[in-house]
Amino acid sequence: MTPHDRSPSAARDLPVAAPGSMDPAAGPSRIGRLAGLDGLRALAVTGVLLFHLFPALLPGGFLGVDVFFVISGFLITTLLVREHTASGRRGIDAASLARFWVRRARRLLPALAVVVLVSGAVALLIGGDSLLGLGWQIVGAATFSYNWLALADGTSYFEQGTPELFRILWSLAVEEQFYLLWPLALPFLLLVRSRGIRIGVLAALAAASAAAMIVLAPGTGDPTRVYFGTDTHAFGLLLGAALAVFRELWPAPPAWSLRLRFWASTLALGSLAGLVVLALTMTEDAPWTYRGGLALVALLSAGVIAGGVVPGSWLGRALDAPPLRWVGERSYGIYLWHWPVFVLLDDALADSGWSSWVIGCAATVLAVGAAAASYRWVELPVRRLGFRGAAARSVAAFRGSRAGAIRGSAVVAATLAAVLLTAVAVAHDPGRGEAEQQIAAGRDALDSAAETPDEPAPLPGGDQITAVGDSVMLAVAPALQEAFPGIAVDAVVSRQMRQAPELLQAMEDAGTLRPIVVLGLGTNGSFERDTVERVLDIIGDRQLVLVNVQAPRGWTDGNNALLARIAQERRTVDLCNWQAAIAPHLDLLAKDHIHADGPGGGEVYVEALTASLQRLAEVPPMLRTNDYGLAPRPS
């Protein structure tokens, strides 16, 4: 849509930025556009898109969601405070509440319904892992309870194996739960006469939410609970609300002097620079991310808003550049579309040999195109005219001409087909994805081995090996047991390398750590050299096999390079080059290109591990070169 296509009422819409809410108003807003916020939400949604589709480019791009939270809290509260002040009412105004929630429905539901129905229908046509859990995901989307249903289902946000089709809707659920409760609570807060107490109460609530995330975040393991929880992740929304109350109710200077504008712009620019640094350095698997990192993101986001919306702010004008504004206006649709499109493309093209970069580029083009079309033909009509008005205009257009009748019939038929196909897709939930089935088989094999611990090993060597790994190792556990009878395998889903020192230390203390240690970690996130050095200190003179990573993830190359360097430097350490071994046989992997799919992939894994064990058994006292293609390591 070009500026000439916009009606005057649409141009005055209040721009709200959040994954699930880009405008609080369905029609003309009572307040003017605030400079820079369209551009800020454009940067935020770009960060999220890069993180999901090209994680190597921006490892901390997920913080864009927290930027959205702060902007949403700020703008929604600004709207509510001004409406409450203009009405002159004390307490809750039922009519205003009803209008507010109707506007939210107009803004959110049309685009969301299109994404769910189109994605569900396409998922049925593609089949496979994209159908997993589709029923509860659609219920979560329709009731804005996705985050809590995902937690109840035991879903991990950080599991790479079988990502849910609508996983990104967790943030929309957090926001909408806030929008349901906050309009009920705000009038009571505004009854407090002291402006300082009002702001203090909101700041205290934001601090309590951030503290809850810090306290409940696990030192090791999966942080999905604190990331998905409305209670532990509402601090950005509350901080934005506090900023809005301060801006609306605190006496403003009669005029913004050049000096005030300079310091406001400096605050905004410094905060924006801080967000960029965090986007480049923060990782989803780092403990500090949930122990203050995301709270810092919220504070910096508030700083950008506080300085950027000041009248005359040059940064606000810069962020209002036409390209950024265009993206910002469509950021809700881009956010909704990019993940389902990527998951569906990845499933459809899993066996095509296309790289993750090509699939990511294709997903970007399709998502932006779909978002632009949805904005033009679905979202704007409903926002301007309401549900009934948009429907009435559509019916009138369909009746106006034969061409209109044909278009109308096609739209109705496509909608009914999408509804039917989505319903069938829900009924065809396979229950388990390919990777999950392989992992379950590995877990069953380990359980069976644990039930018969005294069975003699027909082949020597297995009783000398302790293997610690993640879901990749768990998926090939049957092959490991067959090749190395008696091997001790400790592998669980979503395990990180940072957990290895604690696990191995416990085995050492219990006297169960064997002479040869196989470490297969690094699939689920990056790690530092210090972590592996701690492992080496714990195992002492034991031999160590480091299994490298095969995964279409941004951290894969860095992890593998680090493992290779460490193996090259230590005479008692060897690299099992799983990535190189499986590269010619990607058809033996599940569609995620991570986990072995069936015995064939397990055999390749065993062959690579056997080669490493053989090299360690025959280490000569001279320099040599291993199969990773690196220089010889010292004897």
Mean pLDDT, each 10-residue run in order, the chain (635 residues): 32 37 38 78 96 88 96 93 78 79 92 96 89 93 95 83 86 96 92 89 97 90 91 97 86 62 85 96 89 96 88 81 94 96 88 79 96 94 88 79 80 91 90 62 60 46 90 91 91 88 93 94 87 93 93 82 90 92 86 82 92 81 43 41
Query: Strands of 543-547's sheet, edge to edge?
Result: 488-491, 465-469, 516-520, 543-547, 573-576
Q: Tell me: the pLDDT tens digits for 157-203?
A: 877 666 789 999 999 999 999 999 999 999 899 888 888 899 999 99
Token pair 């490298």 is found at 548
Q: Which of 342, 410, 325, 331 is nearest to 372 (CA)?
A: 331
Whose tokens are 């430097």? That residue is 569
Using CB atoms within 10 Å of the CB of residue 287, give its burial: 0 to 12 exposed, 13 to 18 middle, 19+ buried.
middle
pLDDT score, position 24:
36
Please give the helix or strand (H or E) that residue 517 lies within, else none.
Answer: strand 516-520
d(CA 171, CA 308): 25
Question: Measured between alpha carbons, how far is residue 597 from residues 310, 359, 511, 525, 588 in Å?
Answer: 57, 21, 34, 22, 6
Residues 520 and 475 sit within 8 Å (Cβ to Cβ)? no
Please write the tens of the pLDDT for every residue from 323-364: 999 999 999 999 999 999 999 998 888 667 677 788 899 999
The Cα–Cα gap between 123 and 40 comes to: 33
pLDDT of amino acid 4: 33
- ∠ CA(107), CA(113), CA(116), 5° rounding? 135
State the Cα–Cα distance between residues 284 and 223, nearest whole angstrom: 9
Is the sign of the CA dihedral 48, 52, 53, 57 positive or negative?
positive
* pLDDT given for residue 257 in this prediction: 64
Task: Compute the half-sphere exposure of residue 161: CA atoms within 13 Å on the CB side of its CA.
Answer: 28
- Rounded Cα–Cα distance for residues 61 and 54 (Å): 10
Tell me which residue of 489, 487, 484 sits closest to 459, measured CA to CA: 484
**pTM metric for this prediction:** 0.75
* DSSP secondary structure string for all residues of 158-211: T--SS--TTTTHHHHHHHHHHHHHHHHHHHHHHT-S-HHHHHHHHHHHHHHHHH
Structure tokens of 324? 């950024």
| The amino acid at 167 | R
614 alpha-carbon distance from chain centroid:
41
* Tokens 């559509």 -> residue: 394
- pLDDT of 622 reads 39
| Location of structure tokens 């002479």 | 515
Q: Look at residue 130 in the predicted model and tell me its pLDDT.
A: 86
In sequence order, what are the residues at sequence separation of 6 or more whose Cβ sits closer than 8 angstroms to the Cβ of residue 453? none
Q: Do 36 and 53 contact (CB within 8 A), yes or no?
A: no
Q: What is the CA radius of gyration of the chain?
A: 27
Measured from the Cβ of residue 369, the count of other Cβ atoms closer than 10 Å reads 12
Q: Which two tokens stand for residue 628?
A: 């990773």
For residue 182 the two structure tokens come to 């906050």
Report the distance separating Cα 543 and Cα 535, nearest Å.
11
Residue 13: its pLDDT value, please?
Answer: 35
Cα angle: 5, vertex 10, 11; to 5 degrees: 85
**What was the pLDDT predicted at 448?**
62
pLDDT attached to residue 283:
87
